[in-house]
């Protein structure tokens, strides 16, 4: 059984990732045509695509720390696709906003960006994601050299901005943890944890913990390399 799995052109993780990534779009199209998108379908589409974009973004951010913690190297190979899926959903999200919601009325769109903080944050996050998506391919990695890593580190700046966009778009009481504010706060907490896990001394601690405690019980695999790359790539 295990041998047969190994011979498949895709790994189970790869299949799960692609299925999860496309599921939101398939469901959205299905619900659109079967009229299951609430009384305000445009808002429902904006919200669903926005949530999927941010979830995929956080998943791509989690790949490196999880590999460093558990030595699961395959996650590094999936990071770029997750990041690109996040950008794909963010683009659909923005197109829905600009076209379906605002009918491409540019002056009104610009006015809204200036007037509403959450839209300004969303726009900032989106504009910063684009160069990351374009340069996520190997050809750019080779061309940019060391600067590639530097550029892709801005993902740790983009993710909190996207969460701010999410949090401000919601109504709720941040001090009583009530209302719709709870979900964006969970995303914020996960991002903070992922950032903490990247701190050099925390990484060293987990690397030595893995070597001393976990490796003696695991199969005699070579010790996985610590990965330092970040971003949509």
Q: Output the smallest distance, CB 61 to ligand HEM, in A.
A: 11
Longest CA–CA separation in the chain, Å: 64
Alpha carbon separation from 26 to 20, 21, 32 (Å, rounded) = 10, 10, 10
CB-based contact 109:98 (threshold 8 Å): yes
**Closest CB 75 distance from ligand HEM, rounded Å:** 20
Contact between 21 and ligand HEM per CB under 6 A:
no
Among 11, 41, 51, 141, binds ligand HEM (CB under 6 A): 51
CB of 74 to ligand HEM, least distance (A): 24
Q: Residue from 65, 85, 132, 166 that binds ligand HEM (CB under 6 A)?
A: 166
Helix (H) or strand (E) holding 51: helix 41-70
By the rule CB under 6 A, 85 interacts with ligand HEM: no
Please give the backbone phi and psi of residue 179, each rounded to the nearest 5 degrees, phi first.
Answer: 80, -160
Q: How many residues bind ligand HEM (CB under 6 A)?
A: 22
Cα 29 versus chain centre, distance:
22
Residue 17 touching ligand HEM (CB under 6 A): no
Adjacent-strand bridge partners of 173: 178
**Interface with ligand HEM by CB under 6 A: which residues?**
43, 46-47, 50-51, 53-54, 57, 90, 93-94, 97, 119, 122-123, 125-126, 129, 162, 165-166, 169
């Amino acid at each position: 059984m295990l041998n047969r799995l190994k011979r498949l052109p895709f790994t189970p993780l790869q299949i799960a990732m692609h299925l999860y990534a496309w599921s939101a779009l398939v469901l959205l199209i299905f619900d659109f045509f079967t009229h299951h998108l609430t009384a305000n379908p445009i808002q429902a589409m904006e919200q669903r695509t926005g949530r999927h974009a941010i979830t995929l973004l956080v998943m791509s951010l989690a790949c490196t720390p999880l590999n460093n913690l558990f030595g699961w190297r395959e996650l590094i190979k999936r990071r770029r696709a997750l990041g690109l899926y996040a950008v794909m959903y963010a683009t659909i999200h923005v197109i829905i906003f600009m076209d379906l919601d605002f009918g491409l009325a540019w002056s009104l769109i610009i006015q809204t960006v200036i007037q509403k903080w959450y839209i300004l944050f969303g726009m900032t996050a989106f504009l910063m994601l684009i160069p990351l998506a374009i340069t996520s391919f190997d050809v750019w990695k080779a061309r940019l050299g060391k600067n590639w890593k530097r550029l892709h580190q801005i993902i740790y700046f983009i993710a909190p901005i996207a969460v701010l966009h999410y949090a401000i778009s919601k109504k709720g009481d941040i001090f009583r943890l009530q209302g719709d504010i709870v979900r964006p706060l969970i995303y914020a907490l996960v991002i903070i944890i992922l950032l903490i896990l990247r701190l050099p001394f925390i990484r060293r601690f987990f690397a030595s913990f893995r070597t001393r405690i976990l490796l003696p019980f695991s199969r005699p695999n070579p010790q996985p390399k610590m990965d330092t790359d970040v971003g949509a790539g």
